[in-house]
Amino acid sequence: MKFAFFKGEIVPFEKATISIMTHAFNYGTGCFEGIRGYWNEDQKQMYIVKLKEHYDRLIKSAKTLKIKISYSVPELVKLTCDLVRQNGYQQDVYIRPLAYKSESKIGLGLHNLEDDFAIFLAPFGEYLDISNGIKVCLSKYRRIASHSMPQGAKLTGTYFNSSLAKAEALDRGYVEAITLSHKGNVSEGSAENIFMVKKGVIITPPLSDDLLPGITRLAVMELARKELGLKVIEKSFKPAALFKADELFFTGTGVQISPITQVEKTKIGKGVGPIAKQLQELYFRAVRGENPKYKKWLTPVF
Ligand code: PMP
C-alpha cells in the first residue's frame, strides 16, 4: 500500500483520505471491485486476472448509482497497470477500485452529487484454507433480492448483508456461510459463488437466485467444460441438496476455488473432492500465466 490512485492522480497511500461527511461513507453509495494480481517468480511478471471484465462490471455497478466513471475501460486497465507497477510488489496482490459519491453532503438520493474514482492495492495471499477445505454454516440471513437492490451490481451498501452472514459464521465457529435467495434457494456464500458436484455433473445457482455474477464463476465453468469435459448447469436448488452433494466448493477472486468439506454438522464427500482439486490446479496454472491457452484472461503488468 505504497501508492493509490486518488482524485485523478497517483499519490502516496496516506494522502488518499476522505472526509467523514462523504456521502458514500454515510449512505453506502459506492461500488467496487476486487481483482487479483498473481506474481510469477520465474517470469518476473505480475498477471492481473480478467481486468477488463472487472471494469465492465464496475461500470455497470456505477450506473446503478448514477455514477459515470470518466475513464474508458482501456484507460482504466492502463491506470491499474501503472499503479501496480509503481507499487512494485513482487508477490500476489489484491486490487480494489472504487467509484463512490464523494460529495460532503447530508441528504439521500443519487442526483447532483459529485463522485470520484479511486484504486488501492495490497499484498494478498490465501484468504481461506483452500488445501484442506472449509466448514460452513447455513446463514439465517438471506441475500438481498434484485427488487430491493439492483442485481449484478457490486455495491458497498450490499456488503452489510455479506458482513452479517460472515460474522454469523465466525460467531458459530464456522469459516464461511451459505446464504439463500429471497425465494429460499441456495444463492451463494458471503462473498463467493457456490458450486455443487452431483453424479459427475456440476450445478451452480442461476443469476436469478440473487447472486453476484462472479467472474471466477464463469472462469471455472469454462475450465470444467473445456478442460474436464464436464457438464455444467445453472439450476436452482434447495439447501437440503447441499447435504447430499458429492462435492461443494466456493469460487471468487478472494477465495479462488475453496472446497467445502462440511455444512453445519454434515461432512461433504471424503474431504477435498477430485473435481475441486483438478479445477484448482487448472485455475492456478491459468492465473499464474503458466498455460498459454488462458493467457487471454491475463493482463501482464511488466
Ligand atoms: N459473490 C459476492 C457477493 C462477492 O462479493 C464476490 C466477490 N467479488 C463473488 C460472489 C465472486 O465474484 P468474483 O468471482 O467476480 O470475484
pLDDT of residue 128: 78
Residue 116 amino acid letter: D
Counting ligand 1 atoms within 8 A of each CB, the residue from 95, 146, 154, 164 with the most, and so the one to mutate, is 154
CA distance 88 to 77: 17
CA distance 69 to 186: 33
Q: Please give the residue range of the domain that contains residue 268.
A: 134-287
151: Cβ below 6 Å to ligand 1?
no
- Which of these, 94, 123, 164, 136, lies nearest to 258 by C-alpha position? 136
The model's pLDDT over 144-200, given as tens digits with 9 standing for 90+, comes to: 999 999 989 999 999 999 999 999 999 999 999 999 999 999 999 999 999 999 999
Please give the distance, rounded to the nearest whole angstrom, from the Cα atom of residue 79 to the centre of ligand 1.
Answer: 23
133: Cβ below 6 Å to ligand 1?
no
Residues 89 and 201 in one domain: no
The model's pLDDT over 72-113, given as tens digits with 9 standing for 90+, comes to: 999 999 999 999 999 999 999 999 999 999 999 999 999 999
Residue 39 C-alpha cell reads as: 506474481
CATH number at residue 189: 3.20.10.10
The model's pLDDT over 222-267, given as tens digits with 9 standing for 90+, comes to: 999 999 999 999 999 999 999 999 999 999 999 999 999 999 999 9
Residues 91 and 144 in one domain: no
Residues 106 and 9 in one domain: yes
Which residue's CA is the closest to the ligand 1 atom numbered 4?
191
Mean pLDDT for the stretch of residues 53-68:
98
CA distance 194 to 168: 18
Q: Residue 164: inside a domain, yes or no? A: yes
CA distance 270 to 268: 6
Interhelix angle 215-226/51-64, rounded to 10 degrees, is 140
Number of separate domains in the chain:
2
Where a domain ends, among 77, 101, 123?
123
Any idea how long the chain is? Answer: 302
Q: Residue 128: inside a domain, yes or no? A: no
Residues 105 and 182 in one domain: no
Q: Is 267 a catalytic residue?
A: no
161: Cβ below 6 Å to ligand 1?
no
Which residue's CA is the closest to the ligand 1 atom numbered 9?
192
Q: Give the nearest ligand 1 atom to 54 CA.
A: 15
